[in-house]
Amino acid sequence: MTSPGEDVRAGQPLLKLLDCSGAVVTANVTEGVYNRLRLGEQAIFEPNDGSATIQGEIVNLTGASGAPANLAINPDALNKEPYRVTVSMPALNSTGKECAVGRTGRVVFNTDAAKP
């Protein structure tokens, strides 16, 4: 966050750290899918880069009137659906060799077909 030789002042941020031990995935979904989901249900993230799928849990549901979240990729650039689902993906970096933050992919929800 600074350049070599740059003067810094007290309290100025000098660096940011990224914790790659876990992350969240935010998916834009249709209203129909959104209405079938519940907090605590399981979901699977399938990365577009072909790496292994990652099991997660739904931790937040944001409907059309919800405030925009702090996301790495602006959802409006991907989809106009106003319904968002946040899935917690613990222990993404089990090998210690890579960081999964910033990946794109597909989220598959384990919804029971018998639910209304």
Residue 100 has pLDDT above 50, yes or no: yes
Stretch 13-36: mean pLDDT: 86
pLDDT of residue 80: 58
Tell me what pLDDT residue 23 has: 82
* R_g of the chain, CA atoms, integer Å: 17
The dihedrals phi and psi of 81, each to the nearest 5 degrees, come to -65, 130
**Does 92 score more than 90 pLDDT?**
no
Given a cut of 60, is residue 41 above it in pLDDT? yes
Which of 28-37, 78-87, 89-98 is modeled with the greatest confidence? 28-37
Question: pLDDT of 44-83, one tens digit each?
Answer: 999 998 888 889 999 999 886 545 555 555 555 555 567 8
Give the whole-angstrom CA distance, residue 49 versus residue 60. 25
